Structures are given as structure tokens and as C-alpha cells.
Amino acid sequence: MDALKGFKVVAGLALSMVVLQLLNMATGYSLMAFGLVPRTLHGLFGILASPFLHGSLAHLSANLIAFLILGTLVMLEGFNRFFTVSAIIIVLGGSLVWLFGFAGVHVGASGWVFGLWAYLLSRAWFHRSWRNLITAGVVALLYGGLILGFLPRQGVSFEGHLFGALAGFIAAKVLLSTPRSRFNAG
């Protein structure tokens, strides 16, 4: 998939977040009922829904640019790779937040963003190439500040950040690491 087509898919996902945010605002934030609420039956649906919901326009805008850039970089590996990486991040990361997150409603694409970030950095380790190393260097330079998102802060789901990044690392490990031989030559 070329870069422009990949960007269009990622932009379409971002646009869906914008539309949902406008609908959420117009309905007095009624869509927050679909957020991820840890350790509750009704909160399970939030594992899939929460990355598309945001608590405010500022919250959404904080995630959109990074999502567009990091998502497009992953999309350069193809739609199937982007879909698989995203599914691992959303389902695994969200499940871990559901199991271990603080009591309250968790929403926002930041777990997805942190997962894409960790995937791109980890990809350089598991699938070594100049292209991956350069991409990881640029990602680290542009988004190295995301590391501060692992620190607990009032009103921020640092668990979403942490578990999203862990899921991104696991996605890279599962999809890119090569199995080691059980036998050593020699």
C-alpha cells in the first residue's frame, strides 16, 4: 500500500473520532457510557469503543496528530499489518486496562497512540534494517516526550498509556521476531 492510500485509511479513522466527538458533545457526552470501565460487565464493550471516544476536543486534538503520523508509519507496512498491530494494541491493551485500571471511565486514543509508538520503536529491534532504525530514530526524536505519559497524573489514564505501549511491544515481538533455533551450529 502506498503512503497516500495508507494515510487516507488512517485519516478516515481519525475523522470517525472527530465525528463521534461532535456527536458526543451534541448529546451531552452521552457516548461516555460506552467507555471502558474496569472490572464491570458493561465496561467490556469499552475495550473496543474507548479508543474512538474522547472527553473533550482538547483531549481529541492531543491524540489526533500523533495518531495520524504514527498510524501512517505503521500503515506503510500494509493494511493487514496496521490492522493486526492495531487489533493487538486495542484488545490486549484495553483488556489489561479493564483488568488493572483505576475505577472510572477510560476513553481516548492515547493507548492506541502509545501502542503504535512502542511498536515502531520495537520494530527496529526485532526487524533490523536501516529503514526501521531511521524510522525509530525519527519517532523517538518527535515523540520521545510520550515517556512522560507513563507517570500517574490526575484525570489521565496512565494505565492506558502503559498497557497500550506494552501491547505495541508485544505486537512487534509476535509479528517480527524470528524464532531461534534450538540447536547451535558448531
Residue range(s) defining the domain that contains residue 146: 3-176
Cα angle 64, 34, 101 (rounded to 5 degrees) comes to 80
Supply the pLDDT for residue 128. Answer: 84
Instruction: Examine the pLDDT at 181 and tell me if it is beyond 50.
Output: no
Instruction: Examine the pLDDT at 152 and tell me if it is beyond 80.
Output: no
Whether residue 181 is contained in a domain is answered as no
Q: How far is CA 48 from CA 108, 143, 150, in A?
A: 11, 25, 22
Whether residue 183 is contained in a domain is answered as no
Q: How much is the pTM?
A: 0.91
Instruction: Examine the pLDDT at 183 and tell me if it is beyond 70.
Output: no
**Residue 182 confidence class, pLDDT cut points 50, 70, 90:** low
Whether residue 164 is contained in a domain is answered as yes
Whether residue 72 is contained in a domain is answered as yes
**Residue 108 confidence class, pLDDT cut points 50, 70, 90:** very high
Supply the pLDDT for residue 91. Answer: 98
Whether residue 184 is contained in a domain is answered as no
Instruction: Examine the pLDDT at 178 and tell me if it is beyond 90.
Output: no
Residue 30 maps to which CATH number?
Answer: 1.20.1540.10
Rounded Cα distance, 39 and 57, in Å = 27
The model's pLDDT over 5-41, given as tens digits with 9 standing for 90+, comes to 889 999 999 999 999 999 999 999 999 999 999 999 9
The secondary structure of 88-138 as a DSSP string is HIIIIIHHHHHHHSPSS-B--THHHHHHHHHHHHHHHHHS--HHHHHHHHH
Whether residue 185 is contained in a domain is answered as no
Number of structural domains the chain divides into: 1
Using the CB atoms, write b or e for 109-146: b if 16+ within 10 Å. Answer: bbbbbbbbbbbbbbbbebeeeeebeebbeebeeebeeb
The residue-averaged pLDDT of 117-135 equals: 92
Rounded Cα distance, 156 and 1, in Å = 35
Supply the pLDDT for residue 185. Answer: 47
